[in-house]
Structure 1
Amino acid sequence: MSGAREGMTVTHRRYIPYSHAHYAGDLVDGAYVLGLFGDVATEMCVRADGDEGLFASYSDVQFRAPVRAGDVLETSAVLVRVGTRSRVLDFEARVVCRGRPEAGESAAEALPEPIVAVTATGTVVVPARQNP
């Protein structure tokens, strides 16, 4: 039986290494964050349905602030709608720490308020459950 319930939340944190910088100013491409959304979606499906599930679509993606190498990014998925086999998730990526190379090679700070960098809504599907 499915344990999926609306309001269920999964959160990951990840340091963004400088090897992932793709553009000038140590910017990281948006696809990197979408990959992280896929990771939290997978854990959501495992916790809610006992299966990794499959990502079906995004209905909205908003890039709101830059993500840079040296950031610590917190990504969350919230289960907002449970269908028979589909699950609609709201995603948010927040910068919670940021490197400060202008202050020194390894300088960084925990931000007093997270910066919302990317938001999205997506749909995942899980297999139909078989009755024993």
Structure 2
Amino acid sequence: MSGRSVPEAGAVVTHRRYVPYSDAHYAGNLVDGAYSMKLFGDVATEMCIVTDGDEGLFASYADVQFREPVRAGDVLEVVCTLARVGTRSRTLELEVRVVARGCPTAERPGGAEVLAEPLVATTATGTVVVPPRAE
């Protein structure tokens, strides 16, 4: 896009998402790791739109780490930081944090709490590509 400034490292995009119980697949209301990967795709798409005016395409992931469980009833914060800007590629640092968690009891079946400190559930480095910039 003509007239757009060149994206700079350090830009941040953040999404928040409630994890519905319908997405739990395992004992303990655990959600599969693919859930975090889908969220990484969503936040990376917004980053490309914000920085390049295009949805971009995910080219690769590196160093994906599943550090803490994601459960139904969690509220997640998904953070994408632009780490490196190439001619057409962008390196992104990605993180899923659990900021609130359901804690149902017999007396409070809808019980939940905001965590004092977010739990870092999933991290990854991703590479996206965007179309060449118009001169």
Same structural fold, with TM-score higher than 0.5 when normalized by the shorter chain:
yes
1:25-83 Cα offsets, whole Å, 9 max, x none, are: 00000001100011110000000000000000001100000000000000000000000
Separation in structure 1 between the aligned mates of residue 5 and residue 24 of structure 2, nearest angstrom: 39
Q: 2:8 aligns with which of 5, 8, 11?
A: 5
What is the alpha-carbon root mean square deviation over aligned residues? 1.0
Work out whether 1:39 is the aligned partner of 2:42: yes
Q: Which residue of 2 aligns with 1:102?
A: 105
Q: Using structure 1 for the length normalisation, give the TM-score.
A: 0.96
Unaligned runs of 5+ in 1: none
Separation in structure 2 between the aligned mates of residue 83 and residue 100 of structure 1, nearest angstrom: 44
**1:1-132 equivalences in 2 (<5 Å):** 1-102=4-105, 104-131=108-135
Q: 1:56–1:124: 8 Å Cα contact kept in structure 2?
A: yes
Number of equivalenced pairs:
131
Q: Give secondary structure in 2 for the equivalent of 1:102.
A: coil
Q: Using structure 2 for the length normalisation, give the TM-score.
A: 0.94
Residue identity matched to 2:26: Y
Q: Give secondary structure in 1 for the equivalent of 2:34.
A: helix
Separation in structure 2 between the aligned mates of residue 91 and residue 102 of structure 1, nearest angstrom: 33
Unaligned runs of 5+ in 2: none
